[in-house]
Chains A and B, each alone.
Chain A
């Protein structure tokens, strides 16, 4: 008997059919990966399964271990052992690990918390996810990878039989992701089933028993993972063949346009700690420089220093076309043509309630004035131009940007940056959480910009991406620049080796 069976699931939002007769089956201790582009209906399906959409909000049947389930909400499904770990971490940063683990189901007597019991169970749960930290630690003090583990521990605390993981590795570095995948394998052996959503096909291949592909709300195929190659999956997802994920195009590389450094940046919280130590490098016109390194290696901080948006103390001398500069704030950086697409799209990128158009023109409004007043006509022209040039898929320019998919939001942000006519464009994780099709378009755009002579600095946690499009790779580790390598026969192993080998050397010394 299957642990889970979803039969003929239909779901409509107003006029739009989001899911059209989806079937899904899962046995105890199996890992199933759900693949599909953004907007294909994966998240909607998982929201139905996890009880976010209660029974009656959709058509179709859910059977769990032979029983028909009619959940009224999240809590009902959690009581049955179906727990979803959401894409955006849902921990309360101001509370401790232990408080978070039991949030909503705290052990208590007559409303008074039993803190000793909480502490003890928290220790046990953390042990199961191999996290060796005091449960009294504030979640705000943890790294993203550790927070992810706390989320899983929280789910285990609810006696989960079926874990739903929505993009759990997106914010993690390669190494952390590997550890997380190892943990899922361990849980599988303990009889915990898992539905896994990820845009990283190598992970999907490595971890799954089954792969289920959905496109436009329709079930396309469910196959055993070993029968499918990554190319097969992409073909099924997109419905057409993408010949090559990285559309490498030849482009001319000009003179050195920017010399940076030595950059040193101190931690915001602990002034004694250096996040970036004495890093120097240079960039040429039309060059694409990839910056690799673990989360926390100082890559984002380095870029923030360069863009003068770093919030701690830092030193960042620059030479732009030979002219020595030191910015006081990022307005001066913008004025010099240095533009950044931030890492955290939701927090630093979009203004969710504003329309797509307003988001695009946000940075360039001063240039759209006439006699001191905002000129609506030129704004409309600029918006239409940006939407067309970047192929932002939106029903209308006035649609709130929060309703667009991640890929289209990112394109809108890029449009905003391009309106400033950058000479140097910094991209921090430009394709995080974006589906394959949109990634491809963003890569093509990067090449187009490089051909126009714009120097591009791209931070990315995905090594295939760094290798796929960079001309040169900077390797950061522990705040230091460990390598400045031309991308010529470079491999992932060589980059990781460059970061880690030298760490061993420094440990020995």
Chain B
């Protein structure tokens, strides 16, 4: 039997088992090919730079730096995945991050506000700017490319206006906590332990639900092995970082936001609606999903995440600068795309986008260590972006 009919209805016959859908090794490989390529690319980058830098690329100090550099792009990419999956785009995040960073710096330096107030107000400002973008897109039906292009220009303008074109510095010591501090060794191990408990608890809860409804449940040993493998890998990373100064706070923020983002994307109503809207707008509308409200929420969420990234940036620079965050939107979009997010909407993963961000910053970091001239760095990054998307579409066509 070479060719099964494309459509089989199986009405009234119990003969066709759902088991025909069991994944084969081949189909698994095909489905995860992209993830595999990304991991291989990271390994390749690590090997090449380790050789060219005599091993200092993989030193605890550099890995710590590298991850800190990933934090900002990674957090921006988390918000951007939601935007792109809903079949929109946000070009304003670079300028928005600059503006929010500027606001944080002004509150800190000029007004001497305590840190918690600065954080709350910056995030609230991020929420407002996100709502602004989202309102125009969702309720005024202006294409998001235009709305956020306008935002890109206007937010930058506001930033230059309120800072009078000069750098706002130096920020207070407490401000430095966000971007420059490290977790105590014991604390990061404790956080990891709590995370492990939460994950196992969630899985257990899910198993309970399935059993209660008499559904097949995957073997417990297999599930434990999956969770265990990931936890071991993370633990190894934590120990490596602890051998330098500990887990950097921005990295912790990135990981927490990534997990939260992944949960929202895959396990909540809102996330499901975002994927549905990007996949088939009409179907979603006819299914009674409030499309406008969902899109507004996507942009608002993105705004808050930009606020987090802005605080980290401001803290790391120790200043608010009129040019802060230039081109950051392009890095975020590139990270999403390298992570397999489809610009046509409906397809994308938070984790892979963060992995994409890691690949981008690994290249940055490695090339800087090798003293590769800046112009080459731009060219290489451009080429990688093109290559990633080409490979994706090429394998999809052939697969």
A residues at B contact (CB < 8 Å): 73-75, 78, 86, 88-95, 99, 103-106, 108, 111-117, 119-120, 130-134, 136-137, 143-146, 149, 173, 175-176, 179, 182-183, 268-269, 271, 273-275, 277, 294-298, 311, 478-479
Contacts and interface: CB of A to CB of B under 8 A. Distances in A.
A175 B7 CA distance: 11
B268 A137 contact: no
B284 A92 contact: yes
A176 B9 CA distance: 7
B5 A296 contact: yes
27 contacts: A75-B288, A78-B288, A86-B286, A90-B283, A91-B283, A94-B279, A95-B275, A104-B284, A105-B288, A113-B272, A114-B209, A116-B206, A116-B209, A120-B213, A120-B215, A130-B10, A130-B12, A132-B16, A132-B17, A133-B16, A136-B21, A146-B9, A176-B9, A277-B3, A294-B7, A311-B397, A478-B5
B209 A92 contact: no
A274 B3 CA distance: 6
The 7 A-B pairs of least Cβ separation, nearest first, read A296-B6, A143-B7, A104-B287, A90-B283, A116-B209, A104-B288, A92-B279
Among A89, A294, A478, residue most surrounded by chain B Cβ atoms (within 10 Å)? A478
B9 A179 contact: yes
Given A78-B288, A114-B209, A130 B268 contact: no
Contacts of B8: 143, 146
B236 to A, nearest CB: 31
Interface of B: 2-14, 16-18, 21, 206, 209-210, 212-215, 267-270, 272-273, 275-276, 278-280, 282-284, 286-289, 346-347, 397-399
Contacts of A108: 268-269
A111 B276 contact: no
Contact of B279 (A95, A105, A296): A95
B288 A479 contact: no
A193 B261 CA distance: 43
B11 A179 contact: yes
Contacts of B214: 120
Given A108-B269, A274-B3, A294-B5, A99 B21 contact: no
Given A78-B288, A94-B275, A269-B399, A133 B18 contact: yes
Contacts of B287: 90, 103-104
A90 B286 contact: yes
A152 to B, nearest CB: 12
A299 to B, nearest CB: 11
Contacts of A114: 209
A131 B210 contact: no
A269 B272 CA distance: 26
A111 B346 contact: no
Contacts of B12: 130
A63 B12 CA distance: 36
B209 A132 contact: no
Nearest to A126: B18
Contacts of B283: 89-92, 103
